[in-house]
Amino acid sequence: GLGFAMISMQQDSKLAVKYLVQSLSMQLDGLPNNIMLFVQTVSCIADILVEDHKFRHGLILYKQILKIMDHIQVGPKTTGTLKRRSDIYNNIGYIYSSIGRLSMALKYYKLSLEIDTDMMPSNHPKIALSFNNIGLIYLKKGDFKTAEKYLQQANLIRQESLPHEDHPDLAQMYNNLGAVQYEQEHFDEALLYFHKALEIQLK
């Protein structure tokens, strides 16, 4: 609890890891009684490593978590397990994107999206996030038409589901759509999107 609290308040990450590791050492004595707490704690340590750009170490931990989760029976009452798996796939996608392994990033972002579309309503913001992430990978790969398709899908969901029209996620969305138009040299359309993003950011 101390570790999670320090992370959520963006406090000393080294001390947070110290608390989380202390918790892990106690949890190991009681396994497999609360395997999901163990998974949550290891995942949190991996999150900190990735935030510190220690991508290789974070990736190793996330993949170990997936191996552990493969031994957990997924049934109708384990939506929490599926959600955790989706989050880990998304985080692995982010690591691969950050180190330039775009095909692997795409694979994991799509695995995350597949779980979310099965579990959540079609207008859920998490689905918009997955569409956005996939769109950005296609943008990096130079497939601008496919990138625009995914980013427009994300934009539609965000316009419908976000609580107000000046939400920061919409600014991010307009910026990404502007980038797609810019790369295709559609400069007038790009300017329109960038201006929309800037208006929201200034507010």
Residue 185's pLDDT is what?
A: 95
**Mean pLDDT across the chain:** 90
Q: Determine whether 32 is exposed, middle or buried from the number of CB atoms within 10 Å of its CB (0-12, 13-18, 19+).
A: exposed
pTM over the 0.95 mark: no
Residue 104's pLDDT is what?
A: 98
Lowest-confidence region among 31-40, 57-66, 180-189, 193-202:
31-40
The percentage of residues in the chain with a pLDDT greater than 90, rounded to a whole number, is 65
Question: Which residue's entry shows tokens 């939400």?
Answer: 167
CA atoms within 13 A on the CB side of 89: 23
pLDDT tens column, 54-80: 999 999 999 999 998 888 765 555 788
Say what angle helices 187-202 and 168-183 make with each other, to 10 degrees.
160
Cβ atoms of 45 and 20 within 8 Å: the answer is yes
Cβ atoms of 174 and 196 within 8 Å: the answer is yes
Residue 112's pLDDT is what?
A: 96
Largest CA distance in the chain: 62
Sign of CA dihedral 76, 37, 60, 84: positive
